[in-house]
């Protein structure tokens, strides 16, 4: 028994000795634990008690002192780390990189929040790799990049929020994607060196503490989207003469810039939201040769002032391009402009004087000039087809609409709502088919109204509040559909008389008779319409309303629970079951027995997802045997003409 007990004691003592060896030897290193500061032994490196060494390049070594938390890198040439995220988990209070080192490897210190202090980089350094110091938020002081440095690669210093300033290398050629994005601690000026060639996507995104002027040298030929978005510069902006494009959101939400905004002569395109919300308070100078101003490019630049002169070389002005630019005083549109997009100049309250629209204009988009201050007569050019919804909403200083063009097919809902200055006679041309809901509501100065021969419908409240109208003359043989005094929202003010030829027929009666005579058999209630499937193109139909275009602007299609509900001039008119296969590459909507679109029966629709709108197209043959097309869309009508 004693022999066995002694044996047990020896075993216990052996275990205690082993534990003491394993853990006791770390007692001299401040209790450093692997989870805190993992140090991996590698082939050929020293395993001295408080120092770990290894190689990180052909002629380069590293040494880490566990006591002082110092990492020293010495040698020459490019850094090549044997593993990714080489020092990401080390506690580093001091980083020493010796002269001779020419590059910092990718991911070398990735997301090391315990790398602290100021970063001293050697003059021999030529490049800093992708993600090299990404997320190293413990670094502090001014980040000084040595003058021999040429490349700061993608994400090199992203979210290094502890830096208090930045000095760029005088030899710098390239700044990568998000290289300094989120360095919110930067304060003071940013001096971009002559010789810099490219600035990547989000290069300085959200560097809110940067101040002063931003002078982009003429050597810069490439600049990424969001490059200076949400920066705090409070001086002037000078753009590089080497640019051909101002990219997507490059300077959006830079609210503290001031002075003139001068676009260089070589720029051909100004991108989406490029200067959205900018604080510039001088003039805007756009160069001859500019071709496109994309959506919301200058939206909310409320302090830009003086005349807004858009060169004749511009062929496209995007959605909301100058929306809420409140301080411009006059507008010159390019001579060759075909489309004015939705909300292009909405709420440009300072615009005044006559509005001259270019010949060749096809569409004025929804809300295009809403709440602007243009004065005098508004002459719509021959060739114009569409005046969009709310396009001149509350333009109270307009005084007359003389000689509306024969090419005009419709005037959409709210188009001239609240244009209280419009006065005198208004003649609707024979080519116009539809006047929308509240289109001229509140135009109290109108004194007479003549309706052209082909007008099909006038929406509810179309001329409500036009108290100067005592009578309306119908020039055609058929009276258009309108809302009478016995309905909820009459098209004309109380007491207004509608004068038509004795015995004249009404379009509404003709459409109802056509619907009854052409009604097919069973409406296909058994058709499989909508199924519970992952998202497909068919999901874009559910609950959506599509507006007719052109001469069918008063027709609406509503998709609901496997059926298409059709209204004309706001009145329920027809309905049918539909089917649509989510896997159909042709994206066809089969309309069962079909529905009547005023006077033509539609049995199939083709779906298309456009940039600004969803579109349905019906290819038909009219009563004369001629091919025709009816289109329906969810957005503003200029979307139909983008590719033409």
pLDDT tens digits for 232-262?
999 999 999 999 999 999 999 999 999 999 9
Confidence of residue 619 (pLDDT cuts 50, 70, 90): very high
Taking alpha carbons only, the member of 228, 221, 277 closest to residue 250 is: 228
pTM, rounded to two decimals: 0.86
pLDDT at 584 over 90: no
In the predicted model, what is the mean pLDDT of the chain? Answer: 89
Rg (CA), the chain: 36
So what's the pLDDT on residue 459? 96
Question: Cα 465 to the chain's mean position, in Å?
Answer: 38
Determine the average pLDDT of the residues in 37-52.
Answer: 55
Lowest-pLDDT choice from 10-19, 88-97, 329-338, 464-473: 10-19
CB 171 within 8 A of CB 149: yes
Taking alpha carbons only, the member of 553, 362, 374, 544 closest to residue 462 is: 553
So what's the pLDDT on residue 266? 97
d(CA 95, CA 101): 13
So what's the pLDDT on residue 517? 76
Determine the average pLDDT of the residues in 608-626.
Answer: 86
Sheet with 423-427, edge to edge strand ranges = 423-427, 445-451, 471-474, 497-499
d(CA 613, CA 535): 18
- Top pLDDT among 1 and 269 is at 269
pLDDT at 422 over 70: yes
Angle of CA points 442, 361, 261, to nearest 5°: 90
CA distances from 241 to 197, 213, 235, 302, 618 (A): 12, 17, 19, 26, 49
So what's the pLDDT on residue 45? 43
Share of the chain above pLDDT 90, in %: 75
So what's the pLDDT on residue 501? 86
Determine the average pLDDT of the residues in 258-285.
Answer: 97
d(CA 499, CA 522): 41
């Amino acid at each position: 028994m004693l022999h066995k007990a002694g044996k047990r004691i020896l075993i216990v003592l052996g275990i205690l000795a082993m534990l003491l060896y394993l853990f006791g030897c770390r007692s001299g290193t401040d209790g450093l634990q692997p989870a805190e500061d993992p140090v991996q032994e590698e082939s050929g490196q020293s395993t001295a008690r408080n120092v770990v060494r290894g190689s990180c390049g052909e002629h380069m070594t590293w040494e880490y002192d566990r006591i002082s938390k110092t990492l020293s890198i010495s040698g020459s040439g490019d850094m090549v780390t044997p593993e990714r995220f080489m020092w990401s988990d080390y506690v580093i209070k001091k980083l020493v990189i010796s002269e001779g080192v020419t590059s910092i490897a990718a991911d070398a210190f990735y997301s090391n929040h315990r790398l602290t202090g100021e970063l001293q980089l050697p003059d021999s350094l030529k490049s800093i790799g992708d993600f090299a110091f990404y997320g190293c938020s413990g670094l502090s002081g001014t980040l000084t990049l040595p003058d021999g440095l040429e490349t700061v690669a993608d994400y090199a210093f992203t979210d290094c929020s502890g830096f208090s300033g930045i000095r760029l290398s005088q030899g710098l050629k390239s700044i990568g994607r998000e290289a300094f994005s989120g360095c919110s601690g930067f304060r003071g000026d940013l001096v971009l060196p002559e010789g810099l060639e490219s600035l990547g996507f989000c290069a300085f995104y959200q560097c809110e503490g940067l101040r002063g002027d931003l002078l982009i040298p003429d050597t810069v030929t490439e600049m990424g989207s969001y490059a200076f978005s949400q920066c705090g510069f409070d001086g002037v902006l000078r753009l590089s003469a080497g640019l051909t494009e101002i990219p997507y959101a490059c300077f959006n939400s830079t609210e503290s810039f001031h002075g003139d905004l001068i676009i260089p002569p070589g720029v051909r395109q100004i991108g989406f939201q490029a200067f959205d919300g900018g604080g510039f308070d001088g003039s805007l100078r756009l160069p001859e040769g500019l071709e496109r101003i994309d959506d919301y490019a200058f939206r909310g630049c409320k302090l830009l002032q003086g005349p807004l002169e858009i060169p004749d070389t511009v062929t496209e002005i995007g959605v909301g391009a100058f929306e809420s630019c409140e301080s411009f005083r006059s507008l010159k549109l390019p001579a060759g402009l075909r489309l004015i997009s939705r909300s292009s100049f909405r709420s440009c309250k300072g615009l005044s004087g006559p509005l001259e629209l270019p010949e060749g204009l096809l569409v004025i988009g929804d809300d295009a000039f809403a709440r602007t201050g243009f004065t005098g007569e508004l002459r719509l050019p021959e060739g114009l087809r569409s005046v969009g919804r709310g396009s001149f909403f509350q333009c109270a200083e307009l005084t007359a609409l003389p000689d509306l063009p024969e090419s005009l097919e419709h005037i959409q809902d709210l188009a001239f709502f609240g244009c209280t200055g419009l006065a005198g006679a208004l003649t609707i041309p024979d080519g116009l088919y539809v006047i929308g809901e509240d289109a001229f509501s509140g135009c109290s100065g109108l004194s007479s109204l003549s309706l052209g021969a082909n007008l099909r419908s006038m929406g509810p409240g179309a001329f409500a509040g036009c108290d100067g109208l005592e009578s309306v003359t119908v020039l055609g043989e058929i009276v258009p559909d309108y809302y009478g005094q016995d309905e909820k929202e009459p098209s004309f003010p109380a007491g207004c008389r509608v004068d038509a030829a004795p015995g004249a027929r009404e379009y509404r009666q003709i459409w109802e008779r056509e619907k009854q005579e052409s009604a097919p058999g069973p409406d296909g209630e058994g058709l499989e319409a909508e199924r519970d499937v992952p998202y497909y193109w068919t999901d874009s139909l559910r609950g959506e309303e599509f507006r007719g275009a052109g001469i069918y602007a008063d027709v609406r299609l509503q998709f609901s629970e496997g059926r298409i509900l059709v209204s004309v001039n706001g009145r329920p008119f027809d309905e049918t079951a539909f089917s649509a296969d989510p896997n159909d590459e042709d994206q066809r909507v089969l309309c069962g027995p079909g529905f009547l679109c005023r006077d033509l029966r539609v049995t199939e629709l083709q779906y298309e997802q456009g940039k600004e709108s969803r579109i349905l197209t019906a290819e038909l043959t009219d009563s004369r045997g001629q091919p025709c097309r009816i289109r329906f869309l969810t957005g503003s009508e200029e979307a139909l003409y983008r590719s033409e």
